[in-house]
Amino acid sequence: MVDQIPQHTHCQICRKATTSQEPFCSEECKQQYTAMKKRNRLWVYVMYALMVFIIIVIVVSSLGK
């Protein structure tokens, strides 16, 4: 009645089913993942820099009073 689904995983980028143990189905998906991680890391650095800048502005403005 119900067919058995073979053991599989899904690609982290395109969500296609794959029988390999790799987290990606192709080299293209692996490259997209790497680019996404680099972009996210850049945004984290930008946010940290922005927080430091805001703290410096607050401290400098409170010293000027």
Q: Which carries the bigger pLDDT value, residue 42 or residue 19?
A: 42
Distance separating alpha carbons of residues 45 and 52, to the nearest angstrom: 11
CB-facing half-sphere around the CA of 47: CA atoms within 13 A: 6
Look at residue 1 and tell me whether its pLDDT is greater than 80: no
Looking at the structure of the chain, the number of domains it has is 1
Range of the domain at 28: 9-63
d(CA 58, CA 48) in angstroms, rounded, equals 15
pLDDT at 4 over 90: no
- The Cα–Cα gap between 29 and 37 comes to 12
Residue 48: its pLDDT value, please?
98
Angle among Cα 35, 38, 41 to the nearest 5 degrees reads 150
- Residue 2 inside a domain? The answer is no
Share of the chain above pLDDT 70, in %: 95
3 within domain boundaries: no
Q: In this structure, is the dihedral angle defined by the CA atoms of residues 41, 47, 49 and 52, taken in order, positive or negative? A: negative
